[in-house]
A and B are shown apart, each in its own frame.
Chain A
Amino acid sequence: EAQVTQNPRYLITVTGKKLTVTCSQNMNHEYMSWYRQDPGLGLRQIYYSMNVEVTDKGDVPEGYKVSRKEKRNFPLILESPSPNQTSLYFCASSLLSRGSYEQYFGPGTRLTVT
Protein backbone atom coordinates (compact mmCIF):
# COMPACT_ATOMS: atom_id res chain seq x y z
CA GLU A 1 0.00 0.00 0.00
CA ALA A 2 1.35 3.41 -1.02
CA GLN A 3 1.81 5.50 2.07
CA VAL A 4 3.69 8.13 3.99
CA THR A 5 4.37 7.27 7.61
CA GLN A 6 5.35 9.59 10.42
CA ASN A 7 6.57 8.84 13.92
CA PRO A 8 5.70 9.62 16.56
CA ARG A 9 2.07 10.60 16.06
CA TYR A 10 1.92 12.48 19.34
CA LEU A 11 4.74 14.00 21.33
CA ILE A 12 4.89 16.15 24.42
CA THR A 13 8.32 17.50 25.26
CA VAL A 14 10.02 20.30 27.14
CA THR A 15 11.76 23.39 25.88
CA GLY A 16 15.28 22.74 24.66
CA LYS A 17 15.15 18.97 24.44
CA LYS A 18 16.23 17.90 20.95
CA LEU A 19 13.77 15.77 19.05
CA THR A 20 13.37 14.14 15.66
CA VAL A 21 10.17 13.37 13.80
CA THR A 22 10.67 10.68 11.21
CA CYS A 23 9.01 10.52 7.82
CA SER A 24 9.17 7.65 5.37
CA GLN A 25 7.49 6.99 2.01
CA ASN A 26 7.34 3.80 -0.03
CA MET A 27 6.47 5.28 -3.42
CA ASN A 28 9.98 6.14 -4.64
CA HIS A 29 9.04 9.83 -4.76
CA GLU A 30 11.77 12.37 -5.36
CA TYR A 31 9.98 15.28 -3.71
CA MET A 32 9.36 15.39 0.04
CA SER A 33 8.43 18.25 2.31
CA TRP A 34 7.37 19.22 5.80
CA TYR A 35 4.46 21.47 6.69
CA ARG A 36 3.17 22.79 9.97
CA GLN A 37 -0.50 23.52 10.57
CA ASP A 38 -1.62 26.25 12.95
CA PRO A 39 -5.16 27.55 13.56
CA GLY A 40 -6.10 30.37 11.22
CA LEU A 41 -2.90 29.97 9.22
CA GLY A 42 -3.51 26.82 7.25
CA LEU A 43 -0.46 24.73 6.42
CA ARG A 44 2.91 26.36 5.82
CA GLN A 45 5.93 24.69 4.31
CA ILE A 46 8.97 24.32 6.56
CA TYR A 47 11.52 22.57 4.32
CA TYR A 48 11.47 20.57 1.16
CA SER A 49 13.75 18.20 -0.69
CA MET A 50 13.88 17.53 -4.40
CA ASN A 51 16.10 14.47 -4.09
CA VAL A 52 18.77 12.82 -1.97
CA GLU A 53 21.13 15.41 -0.46
CA VAL A 54 19.09 18.27 -1.98
CA THR A 55 17.11 20.28 0.56
CA ASP A 56 15.90 23.87 0.74
CA LYS A 57 13.99 26.20 3.00
CA GLY A 58 10.27 26.71 2.76
CA ASP A 59 8.31 29.57 4.25
CA VAL A 60 8.96 28.96 7.96
CA PRO A 61 12.34 27.17 8.37
CA GLU A 62 13.57 28.88 11.56
CA GLY A 63 14.22 26.43 14.37
CA TYR A 64 14.13 23.34 12.16
CA LYS A 65 16.63 21.15 10.35
CA VAL A 66 16.17 18.35 7.85
CA SER A 67 18.29 15.80 6.09
CA ARG A 68 17.78 13.54 3.08
CA LYS A 69 20.34 10.79 3.13
CA GLU A 70 18.04 8.21 1.57
CA LYS A 71 15.27 8.72 -0.93
CA ARG A 72 12.56 7.26 1.28
CA ASN A 73 13.32 9.15 4.50
CA PHE A 74 13.08 12.82 5.37
CA PRO A 75 13.39 13.44 9.12
CA LEU A 76 12.52 16.77 10.74
CA ILE A 77 14.86 17.81 13.54
CA LEU A 78 14.16 20.35 16.25
CA GLU A 79 17.52 21.02 17.90
CA SER A 80 16.11 23.17 20.69
CA PRO A 81 12.31 23.14 20.63
CA SER A 82 10.40 26.14 21.92
CA PRO A 83 6.70 26.54 22.81
CA ASN A 84 6.01 28.40 19.54
CA GLN A 85 6.82 25.16 17.73
CA THR A 86 3.79 23.51 19.26
CA SER A 87 1.86 22.54 16.17
CA LEU A 88 0.54 19.77 13.94
CA TYR A 89 3.20 18.62 11.51
CA PHE A 90 2.69 16.90 8.19
CA CYS A 91 5.18 15.21 5.94
CA ALA A 92 4.32 14.93 2.26
CA SER A 93 5.81 13.34 -0.82
CA SER A 94 5.18 13.40 -4.54
CA LEU A 95 6.80 12.74 -7.86
CA LEU A 96 8.99 15.68 -8.81
CA SER A 97 7.22 17.89 -11.25
CA ARG A 98 6.31 21.44 -12.00
CA GLY A 99 3.45 21.41 -9.55
CA SER A 100 1.26 18.94 -11.32
CA TYR A 101 1.27 15.89 -9.12
CA GLU A 102 -0.84 15.06 -6.12
CA GLN A 103 1.02 15.22 -2.84
CA TYR A 104 0.61 12.32 -0.47
CA PHE A 105 0.44 13.38 3.15
CA GLY A 106 1.39 11.46 6.24
CA PRO A 107 -1.07 11.13 9.15
CA GLY A 108 0.39 14.07 11.06
CA THR A 109 2.41 14.49 14.24
CA ARG A 110 0.94 16.57 17.03
CA LEU A 111 3.79 18.18 18.95
CA THR A 112 3.42 20.04 22.23
CA VAL A 113 6.42 21.89 23.67
CA THR A 114 6.02 23.02 27.28
Chain B
Amino acid sequence: AQKVTQAQTEISVVEKEDVTLDCVYETRDTTYYLFWYKQPPSGELVFLIRRNSFDEQNEISGRYSWNFQKSTSSFNFTITASQVVDSAVYFCALSEARETSGSRLTFGEGTQLTVNP
Protein backbone atom coordinates (compact mmCIF):
# COMPACT_ATOMS: atom_id res chain seq x y z
CA ALA B 1 0.00 0.00 0.00
CA GLN B 2 1.17 3.50 -0.67
CA LYS B 3 1.75 6.05 2.06
CA VAL B 4 2.81 9.68 2.30
CA THR B 5 4.22 11.20 5.46
CA GLN B 6 4.58 14.87 6.23
CA ALA B 7 6.21 14.85 9.63
CA GLN B 8 6.01 18.62 10.13
CA THR B 9 2.54 19.41 11.37
CA GLU B 10 3.14 23.14 11.74
CA ILE B 11 5.93 25.48 10.76
CA SER B 12 6.17 29.14 11.66
CA VAL B 13 8.68 31.48 10.03
CA VAL B 14 9.27 35.18 9.70
CA GLU B 15 8.81 36.81 6.34
CA LYS B 16 11.80 36.52 3.97
CA GLU B 17 13.07 33.36 5.63
CA ASP B 18 13.51 30.26 3.50
CA VAL B 19 11.46 27.25 4.55
CA THR B 20 11.49 23.60 3.51
CA LEU B 21 8.49 21.30 3.79
CA ASP B 22 9.37 17.63 4.00
CA CYS B 23 7.57 14.79 2.26
CA VAL B 24 8.48 11.11 2.46
CA TYR B 25 6.56 8.46 0.54
CA GLU B 26 6.26 4.69 0.34
CA THR B 27 5.22 2.71 -2.70
CA ARG B 28 6.02 -0.66 -4.22
CA ASP B 29 5.57 0.60 -7.75
CA THR B 30 8.41 1.71 -9.99
CA THR B 31 6.16 4.14 -11.85
CA TYR B 32 4.36 6.73 -9.78
CA TYR B 33 3.63 10.44 -9.61
CA LEU B 34 4.17 12.96 -6.85
CA PHE B 35 2.24 16.15 -6.31
CA TRP B 36 2.16 19.20 -4.09
CA TYR B 37 -1.03 21.13 -3.39
CA LYS B 38 -1.56 24.36 -1.49
CA GLN B 39 -4.67 25.02 0.59
CA PRO B 40 -4.94 28.71 1.53
CA PRO B 41 -7.25 29.84 4.35
CA SER B 42 -10.09 30.13 1.83
CA GLY B 43 -10.07 26.32 1.63
CA GLU B 44 -9.63 25.46 -2.03
CA LEU B 45 -6.87 23.15 -3.23
CA VAL B 46 -4.36 24.70 -5.57
CA PHE B 47 -2.20 22.45 -7.71
CA LEU B 48 1.51 23.34 -7.53
CA ILE B 49 3.51 20.60 -9.21
CA ARG B 50 3.45 17.06 -10.59
CA ARG B 51 6.58 14.94 -10.93
CA ASN B 52 6.89 11.42 -12.31
CA SER B 53 9.18 8.82 -10.81
CA PHE B 54 11.53 8.77 -13.78
CA ASP B 55 12.35 12.45 -13.60
CA GLU B 56 14.64 13.22 -10.70
CA GLN B 57 15.58 16.67 -11.88
CA ASN B 58 14.93 19.37 -9.35
CA GLU B 59 12.47 22.00 -10.42
CA ILE B 60 12.32 25.70 -9.72
CA SER B 61 9.36 27.96 -10.30
CA GLY B 62 9.93 31.48 -9.04
CA ARG B 63 10.38 31.30 -5.27
CA TYR B 64 9.32 27.63 -5.20
CA SER B 65 11.65 24.70 -5.70
CA TRP B 66 11.27 20.96 -5.35
CA ASN B 67 13.90 18.37 -4.55
CA PHE B 68 13.03 14.80 -5.58
CA GLN B 69 15.33 12.11 -4.25
CA LYS B 70 14.36 8.56 -5.11
CA SER B 71 17.13 7.12 -2.95
CA THR B 72 15.49 8.51 0.18
CA SER B 73 11.89 8.44 -1.15
CA SER B 74 11.54 12.13 -0.52
CA PHE B 75 9.99 15.01 -2.42
CA ASN B 76 10.71 18.16 -0.45
CA PHE B 77 9.38 21.61 -1.19
CA THR B 78 11.30 24.82 -0.49
CA ILE B 79 9.94 28.33 -0.48
CA THR B 80 12.64 30.97 -0.79
CA ALA B 81 12.13 34.41 0.75
CA SER B 82 8.75 33.46 2.18
CA GLN B 83 5.87 35.93 2.15
CA VAL B 84 2.75 36.27 4.26
CA VAL B 85 0.67 35.09 1.29
CA ASP B 86 2.48 31.75 1.45
CA SER B 87 0.64 30.99 4.69
CA ALA B 88 -1.41 27.90 3.96
CA VAL B 89 -1.63 24.18 4.47
CA TYR B 90 0.55 22.30 2.03
CA PHE B 91 -0.16 18.73 1.00
CA CYS B 92 2.14 16.24 -0.64
CA ALA B 93 0.41 13.42 -2.56
CA LEU B 94 1.28 10.25 -4.44
CA SER B 95 -0.48 8.56 -7.35
CA GLU B 96 0.38 5.11 -8.55
CA ALA B 97 0.21 4.28 -12.25
CA ARG B 98 -2.53 1.66 -12.33
CA GLU B 99 -5.52 1.53 -14.62
CA THR B 100 -7.71 -0.01 -11.95
CA SER B 101 -7.25 2.94 -9.63
CA GLY B 102 -7.09 5.66 -12.24
CA SER B 103 -5.72 8.84 -10.81
CA ARG B 104 -6.27 8.08 -7.13
CA LEU B 105 -4.22 10.33 -4.87
CA THR B 106 -2.84 9.34 -1.48
CA PHE B 107 -2.27 12.48 0.57
CA GLY B 108 0.04 13.24 3.43
CA GLU B 109 -1.30 14.76 6.63
CA GLY B 110 -0.47 18.29 5.53
CA THR B 111 1.86 20.95 6.92
CA GLN B 112 0.44 24.23 8.20
CA LEU B 113 2.85 26.99 7.23
CA THR B 114 2.49 30.36 8.92
CA VAL B 115 4.58 33.25 7.66
CA ASN B 116 4.65 36.14 10.10
CA PRO B 117 5.34 39.71 9.00
Whether both chains belong to one complex is answered with: yes
Interface residues of A (CB under 8 A from B): 30-31, 33, 35, 40-45, 48, 50, 58, 88, 90, 92, 94-105, 107-108, 110
**When the two chains form the complex, which single residue of A43, A44, A88, A102 contacts B50, counting CB atoms closer than 8 Å?**
A102
- Are B104 and A42 within 8 A (Cβ)? no
In the bound complex, do residue A40 and residue B109 qualify as a contact, i.e. CB atoms below 8 Å apart?
yes
Residues of A within 8 A of B44 (CB): 105, 107-108
Evaluate whether A99 and B9 lie within 8 angstroms (CB atoms) in the complex, with A58-B104, A107-B43 already known. Answer: no
Closest 7 pairs (CB-CB, A-B): A99-B95, A98-B97, A42-B107, A105-B45, A43-B107, A99-B97, A31-B102
Contact with A along B86-100 (1 / 0, CB 8 A): 000001010111110
Which B residues lie within 8 Å of A31 (CB)?
Answer: 102-103
State whether A42 touches B103 (Cβ < 8 A): no
Chain B, residues 1-28, CB within 8 Å of chain A (1/0): the string is 0001010010000000000000000000
C-alpha gap A97/B22 in the complex (Å): 27
Task: Decide if B105 touches A45 in the complex (CB within 8 Å).
Answer: yes
Residues of A within 8 A of B96 (CB): 99
In the assembled complex, the Cα of A104 lies from the Cα of B110 at a distance in Å of 18
Task: Knowing A88-B43, A90-B45, A108-B44, say if A97 contacts B109 (CB, 8 Å).
Answer: no
Interface size on B, residues (CB 8 A): 31
Q: Is the CB of B107 within 8 A of A98?
A: no
B74 within 8 A of A: no
Q: Contacts of B105 on A, CB cut-off 8 Å?
A: 35, 43, 45, 92, 103
Contact B97 A100 (CB under 8 A): yes
Q: Are A99 and B43 in contact (CB under 8 A)?
A: no
Q: How far is A90 from B44 in the complex, measured between Cα atoms in Å?
A: 9
Looking at the assembled complex, report how far the CB atom of B111 sits from the nearest CB atom of chain A, in whole angstroms: 10
**A41 close to B31 (CB less than 8 A):** no
Q: Name the one of B97, B98, B107 contacting A44, with C-beta atoms under 8 angstroms.
A: B107
**Partner pick for B103 among A40, A97, A107, CB 8 A cutoff:** A97
Closest Cβ of chain B to A43, distance in Å, is 4
Q: How far is the CB of B63 from chain A (nearest CB, A)?
A: 21
Determine whether the beta carbon of A97 is less than 8 Å from that of B104. no
